[in-house]
Amino acid sequence: MRLRDCHNFHDFRRLARRRLPGPIFDYIDGAADDEVTHRRNTASFERCDLVPNVLRGVENIDMSVTVLGQKLAMPIYCSPTALQRLFHHTGERAVAAAAAKYGTMFGVSSLGTVSLEELRQAHDTPQVYQFYYHRDRSLNRTMMQRAKEAGVQVMMLTVDSITGGNRERDKRTGFSIPFRLTLAGMYQFGIKPAWGINYLTHERFKLPQLDQHVDMGSGALSISKYFTEMLDPSMNWDDVAEMVQLWNGQFCLKGVMSVADARRAVEIGCTGIVLSNHGGRQLDGSRAPFDQLAEIVDAVGDRIDVIMDGGIQRGTHVLKALSLGAKAVGVGRYYLYPLAAAGQAGVERALDLMRSELERGMKLMGCTAINQLSRENLRFR
């Protein structure tokens, strides 16, 4: 199986599975507890049908949107995700370059493996900086100031990860940074030697957003341990309001799922919210973002940019979310599998397929611009 054989999300996933050692594939692929919420995120779209219009003259299609003050050529962006150079040695560099080629936004995580300054200097496309609220308040201020000085346009605070989810796949393999593997995990690395050769022959793995604050040399830093020991479970709305004022720009909360929290985000001055359950990796049994989208748009959509992130695998999923009122959608696994499979070429192919699906879908829906999509185009089973 080669990259040119990949025509959809599931093809990319299969190719990534062939090329990655089991523990790393499971880190991307896995979710919390029984992974019910992870499956539900995509399944939620199946209860919604598109109702197309015809004879609308759809020769020219405009897929551009403006979200969080940024003009995007299409209504999806690459959400910030951690540890990308574990999946492919080019990591965030590949994702940023692909996003720039397709005129969309990309995110850099606090647990990113390339510095936000390098990426900001390399690409003019809008950049999001995603960070977590640490127990060390001075670290939070330092990270925000660093992003401001680098020229990052959008600050995104993840609020649904105050403690780590129960990711049992990682427990079984011993996945951690640096690696501290079980025997089963070591075997999986042994049967995929190409990944190990790439890992060892390229620049040393690091977390440049945190390397001055996290000791990577004295034992394994597990992802769960990072969430449990470094993040501040006492974070509250007053803390976030202070950060919004300090940033004084486009500030987005990622992980909002209730109407009450959406309204509070508006009150403290946020300019955007991302409906997300962290890809099902935190609270298993929680509701899918698509199922919450309509009521949150109805409550605050005229005062704040509402974005949806979770379960997107097809262009028709994006059209359904936009029809319900989302300003844009974020994707994570959708670009991580192709990144793992083929680096920048993989991410570009995934974004190109998505762009083609969106253009085709809009033509078949009888729409020439995103603002023509509405709930009149939808019916729920």
Which residues form the catalytic set?
278
Contact status, residue 192 vs residue 21, Cβ threshold 8 Å = yes
Q: How far apart are CA 324 and CA 293, in angstroms?
A: 7
What the block records as the tokens of 277 is 């359950």
Q: How far apart are CA 164 and CA 132, in angstroms?
A: 12
In 3-state terms, what secondary structure has residue 222? coil
Contact status, residue 155 vs residue 270, Cβ threshold 8 Å = no
From 311, 357, 355, 360, select the one nearest 104 (Cα to Cα).
355
Contact status, residue 29 vs residue 289, Cβ threshold 8 Å = no
Contact status, residue 350 vs residue 313, Cβ threshold 8 Å = no
| Residue 330: strand pairing partners | 77, 309
- DSSP, residue by residue, 243-305: HHHHH-SEEEEEEE-SHHHHHHHHHTT-SEEEE--GGGTSSTTPPPHHHHHHHHHHHHTTTSE
Task: Say if residue 80 is preceded by a cis peptide, omega within 30 of 0.
Answer: no
From 238, 233, 299, select the one nearest 263 (Cα to Cα).
299
